[in-house]
Amino acid sequence: MIELINVTKSYNGTNKAVDQLNLTVPNGEIFGFLGPNGAGKTTTIKMVTGIIRPDQGEITINGKNIATQPLEAKQQFGYVPDSPDQFLRLKGLEYINFMADMYQVPKDVRGQRILELASRFEMTSALGDPIQSYSHGMRQKIMIMGVLVHNPKVWILDEPLTGLDPKASFTLKEMMREHADSGRTVFFSTHVLEVAEKLCDRVAIINKGKILFCGTFKEMQQHFQSDHSLESLFLELTKHE
Amino acid sequence: MSKVLLLSKVLLKNAESIWGAKKGSGWKKLLLVLALVIGIIPMILGAVVFLSAMYDGLALIGQEGALLGLGFTVASLAIFIFGILYVLSVFYYSQDVEQLLPLPLRPAHILGAKFVVALCYEYLTALVLLGPLLVTYGVKSGGGIVYYLFAVLIFLAVPIVPLVMAALLVMLFMRFTNVGKSKERFRLISGLFAICLAVGFQMFVQRQSSGGVDSLEQLQQMIASQENALLNLVTQFFPAGRLAALALQDGGTLESLGFLAAFFLVVLASLVVFLVVGNSFYFAGVMGISEAAAKRKAIGKTAFQKLVKQRSRLLSYFWKEWKILWRTPAFLLNCTLSSLLIPILALLPVLARRDSGELLARLQASLQGEHAGAVSLAIAFAAILLLGALNSTSVTAISRDGQGFFYNKTLPILPQHLLLAKVMPGIILSMVGMLVLLAEAVWLLSLSGKFIFWAALCGIPGVIFINLIGIMVDLHLPKLVWSSEQEAVKQNFNPLFSLLFGLVTGGLVAVCVMYVEASLFATALGLFALFALLDVAIYRMLVVKGPKWLENIED
């Protein structure tokens, strides 16, 4: 579970990227975080993961406060950033092993888990090559694998489907579903509204640092008394802002 | 032409934002500028004093013009050497290259714009090297407005020819090494080989030339008589410098105008050659530059088990840093290998002299005297400290992560462990450098085992000290926005700080020891205790304040 209470972040003192944000991402759900470019999605994710500090407010992950118990909080989640161009000089396997060390995955389960992930994402033959030699999609896959190797309770994924091939995209969506169904949390941002509509149990739409709507797709249709798709509701909602 | 100008403007703007991207409060920037000024002013003052003494000496025999010739030649050589690095990073390893390639631009457009960018960097070098010379010469010779007009024109044009030469060399090299799968490694090895060849050649030439230069008078004589083979060779290598000197010597006369015209003709011709060669070689060398070799073969069972090893967070992070340092060519050259190369390269000018045996014997005698013990130790300590300061591993430890740094913050590793893991490679590399230096001392100066032991004993806390200072500097002024790995370590001011710090601390230690006149044993113990205490204090500060400082780095 992720909880944000009255979280505010401003740049240069005036420009509020995130403004008095309140959000609860419950267990057992896939939660979609939607919004136009520059709405404050990535800023919010960066605050949740401890990359930047909020000016005000409190953030907890499974009850652990990211500001006061950073290590315990970080142990709860796995985070896939929006740019997979990291650790390029390491080999795929070295990177995943590095991540396993960071989260102290025991040696006896580590090897097995890496092999499982590699075969699910069809990366077995690429593990011995440097990440620099990977395509964009493969880099995305290895980042996801590095995060999933410690079997985190909370998944935080920033645009995770960008660049993935149909098979990997399907696999990841399947895994997200399994993860949520086992009573744990998936929090992800996306621009692809069709995916969000089909995959998410609940969505939040953010624009200019404020949550415009938070709830299930059904609730959204009821709220706006319309049977339109998420896409047209989204466009309607963010049009006048 | 308009496309070239437009593109240069864009590239320069981009570079400017990269240079200016160090976010820090006002006082940090002020401190930065202040430290640079403090560091550079004595150098410039020293240069002015030296140059005017040279001028006076040469004026006695009517050869003061030779000073300009020498100045332009030395500056050209420096610009050529820097040019190789700039061309590599601006023309080839900059990330914008892959975005420019698909645009409807001719090689000449991209080349022209990139040349302008590299030239702007070179003007900074030229300003430091030629500024004092041109002004000192102008004042001393009572040059009028024509002199200064010529001087400005020549200043602007002088870096062009050596930069073209560097670019031609690099373009040819990159063209013919753009082969095979592991071209990065191939290029690195052939580059190192080329450096060895150049150094060997230089040693050979220097040994051939007369005994070496010991005093100002000798240097003046050498310039006036033009006997020195090395100088002649370098001058022949950069003939444009000679023309520029001749044009400036009697500014305003018809003859000087002729020289000036000839100089600009040479500059223009070099640009034409650059564009023609570049047109056919640049694209062939730069295409596919970011490709990396891949086998795409599953790892065997035993190899897999070996790679999937469990380590502590601290050790694992250290390994990651260590591997990246060795695998990234720009880091390998500037951080890893430099700890080995600098003590070796520093030795070459000594060994290259014909009278090196005599010189070493003299040095040995002065180092082994009864009272010289403590002072020698202080000098050895200062040298070790300086060697550590010259290594940019710790002082760029955060900068090297670039935008990937922020990902570190999401990992469940204690900030103090992260900092420790980042400073460890630098300490190890500096220690290796120290051992090389001490080994050289044993070999050449046959110093006693006792002395070496004491030097190593106080060297260790010294090396740790300078590395801790380095990471403190980088924590406060990390350069996280860069477009090539080269930029993260080369176009970064932080190593300059650590150098300054090493120089000042080493100097202070040497002066203090000279005044105190303690025994070798007392000095060694004192230095060891002092720096061990300083290390503990800085380490405590890193542990207590470091996490906050890390947290403060936001994008």
DSSP chain A: -EEEEEEEEEETTTEEEEEEEEEEE-TT-EEEEE--TTSSHHHHHHHHHTSS--SEEEEEETTEETTTSHHHHHHHEEEE-S----STTSBHHHHHHHHHHHTT--HHHHHHHHHHHHHHTT-GGGTTSBGGGS-HHHHHHHHHHHHHTT--SEEEEESTTTT--HHHHHHHHHHHHHHHHTT-EEEEE-S-HHHHHHH-SEEEEEETTEEEEEE-HHHHHHHTT----HHHHHHHHHH--
Give Cβ neighbours of residue B26 (< 8 Å, ≥ 6 apart). none
Return the residue in A2, A49, A98 with the most chain B beta carbons within 10 A, the one to mutate for interface testing. Answer: A98
Q: What is the dihedral of CA B348, B352, B358, B362, to 10 degrees?
A: -30
| pLDDT confidence bin for B225, thresholds 50/70/90 | low
Give Cβ neighbours of residue B128 (< 8 Å, ≥ 6 apart). B40, B43, B44
| Residue B111, phi then psi, degrees to nearest 5 | -60, -45
| pLDDT confidence bin for B234, thresholds 50/70/90 | low
User: Could you tell me the residue ranges of all domains in chain B?
Assistant: 2-286, 330-344+371-552
Percent of chain B topping pLDDT 90: 30
Q: What is the DSSP letter of B179?
A: -
Choice between B342 and A151, residue whose per-residue pLDDT is larger: A151
Sign, Cα dihedral of A67, A71, A75, A78 = positive
Q: What kind and span of H or E run contains B87? A: helix B65-87
Choice between B177 and B454, residue whose per-residue pLDDT is larger: B454
pLDDT > 50? residue A178: yes
Percent of chain B topping pLDDT 70: 88
A103-112, B83-92, B350-359, B488-497, range with the lowest pLDDT: B350-359
CA-angle at B218, arms to B216 and B220, nearest 5°: 70
Q: Are B372 and B492 in contact (CB under 8 A)?
A: no
Q: What per-residue confidence (pLDDT) applies to A237?
A: 81
Helices (runs of H) and strands (runs of E) counted in chain B = 24, 0
Cross-chain Cβ contact B304/A52 below 8 Å: no
Exposure letters B328-360 (e unless 16+ CB within 10 A, then b): bbbbbbbbbbbbebbbeeebeeeebbeebeebb
Q: What per-residue confidence (pLDDT) applies to B187?
A: 75
Q: How many CA atoms are closer than 13 Å to the CA of B535, on its beta-carbon side?
A: 19
User: Which of A100, A107, A133 is opposite residue B292, by nearest beta carbon?
Assistant: A133
User: Which of B305, B316, B324 is opposite residue A102, by nearest beta carbon?
Assistant: B316
User: Which of A46, A70, A90 is opposite residue B320, by nearest beta carbon?
Assistant: A90
Q: Are B163 and B242 in contact (CB under 8 A)?
A: no
- What is the rounded average pLDDT of the residues B309-316? 94
List the domains of chain A with CATH numbers: 2-239 (3.40.50.300)
Choice between B341 and B416, residue whose per-residue pLDDT is larger: B416
Choice between A44 and B182, residue whose per-residue pLDDT is larger: A44
Q: What per-residue confidence (pLDDT) applies to B181?
A: 66
pLDDT > 60? residue B440: yes
Cross-chain Cβ contact B294/A126 below 8 Å: yes
According to DSSP, the β-strands at A154-158 and A77-80 are: parallel
Cross-chain Cβ contact A127/B299 below 8 Å: yes
Q: What per-residue confidence (pLDDT) applies to B186?
A: 72
Cross-chain Cβ contact B313/A101 below 8 Å: yes
Q: What per-residue confidence (pLDDT) applies to A240?
A: 61
Query: CA B129, CA B52: separation in Å to the nearest integer?
Result: 15
Collapsing DSSP to helix, strand or coil, B46 comes out as: helix
* Chain B positions with Cβ closer than 8 Å to A: 290-299, 303-305, 307-313, 315-317, 319-320, 323-324, 327-328, 403-404, 406-407, 409-414, 551, 554-555
- What is the rounded average pLDDT of the residues A130-143? 92
| pLDDT confidence bin for A150, thresholds 50/70/90 | very high
**Chain A residues whose beta carbon lies within 8 Å of the beta carbon of residue B304:** 93, 111
| pLDDT confidence bin for B12, thresholds 50/70/90 | confident
Q: What is the pLDDT of residues A86-119, one digit of tens each?
A: 899 999 999 999 999 999 999 889 999 999 999 9
Q: What is the pLDDT of residues B463-498, one digit of tens each?
A: 999 999 999 999 998 989 888 888 888 878 888 888
Cross-chain Cβ contact A50/B410 below 8 Å: yes
Q: How many CA atoms are closer than 13 Å to the CA of A186, on its beta-carbon side?
A: 28
Cross-chain Cβ contact A51/B310 below 8 Å: no
Cross-chain Cβ contact B323/A94 below 8 Å: yes
Choice between B289 and B7, residue whose per-residue pLDDT is larger: B7
Give Cβ neighbours of residue B178 (< 8 Å, ≥ 6 apart). B284, B285, B287, B288, B289
Return the residue in A61, A69, A95, A97 with the most chain B beta carbons within 10 A, the one to mutate for interface testing. Answer: A97
Cross-chain Cβ contact A103/B406 below 8 Å: no
Give Cβ neighbours of residue B329 (< 8 Å, ≥ 6 apart). B184, B187, B188, B485
Q: What per-residue confidence (pLDDT) applies to B20?
A: 46
The one-letter amino acid at A185 = T
**Chain A residues whose beta carbon lies within 8 Å of the beta carbon of residue B407:** 51, 81, 86
Q: Are B546 and B473 in contact (CB under 8 A)?
A: no
Return the residue in B411, B416, B481, B555 with the most chain A beta carbons within 10 A, the one to mutate for interface testing. Answer: B411
Please give the mean pLDDT across all residues of chain B. 84
Give Cβ neighbours of residue B494 (< 8 Å, ≥ 6 apart). B392, B395, B396, B399, B470, B473, B474, B477, B479
Token pair 């204690």 is at which residue? B414
User: Which of B292, B303, B404 is opposite residue A86, by nearest beta carbon?
Assistant: B404
- What is the rounded average pLDDT of the residues A214-223? 87
Give Cβ neighbours of residue B467 (< 8 Å, ≥ 6 apart). B388, B393, B394, B423, B426, B427, B430
pLDDT > 90? residue A185: yes
Choice between B138 and B58, residue whose per-residue pLDDT is larger: B138
Q: What per-residue confidence (pLDDT) applies to A123?
A: 94
Choice between A226 and A199, residue whose per-residue pLDDT is larger: A199
Cross-chain Cβ contact A128/B295 below 8 Å: yes
Cross-chain Cβ contact B299/A83 below 8 Å: no
pLDDT > 80? residue B250: no
- What is the rounded average pLDDT of the residues B381-390? 92
| Residue A39, phi then psi, degrees to nearest 5 | -80, -20
Q: What per-residue confidence (pLDDT) applies to B51?
A: 86
- What is the rounded average pLDDT of the residues B421-426? 96
User: Which of B290, B319, B407 is opposite residue A86, by nearest beta carbon?
Assistant: B407
Cross-chain Cβ contact B313/A52 below 8 Å: no
Looking at CA atoms only, how far is residue A75 from chain B in angstroms?
A: 6
| pLDDT confidence bin for B253, thresholds 50/70/90 | confident
**Chain B residues whose beta carbon lies within 8 Å of the beta carbon of residue A110:** 308, 310
Q: What per-residue confidence (pLDDT) applies to B214?
A: 54
Asked if A79 has any chain B CB less than 8 Å from its own CB, the reply is yes
pLDDT > 70? residue B231: no
Query: CA B329, CA A3: separation in Å to the nearest integer?
Result: 44
| Residue B485, phi then psi, degrees to nearest 5 | -60, -35
Choice between B396 and B208, residue whose per-residue pLDDT is larger: B396
- What is the rounded average pLDDT of the residues B258-265? 90
Looking at CA atoms only, how far is residue A97 from chain B in angstroms?
A: 6
Q: What is the DSSP letter of B300?
A: P
Q: What per-residue confidence (pLDDT) applies to B220?
A: 64
Choice between B2 and B473, residue whose per-residue pLDDT is larger: B473
Q: What per-residue confidence (pLDDT) applies to A16?
A: 87
- What is the rounded average pLDDT of the residues B59-83? 82
CA nearest to B553 within chain A: A52
Q: Report how far apart, in Å, the C-alpha atoms of B473 and of each of B31, B387, B423 are.
A: 11, 17, 12
Provide ipTM, 2 decimals.
0.92
Please give the mean pLDDT across all residues of chain A. 91
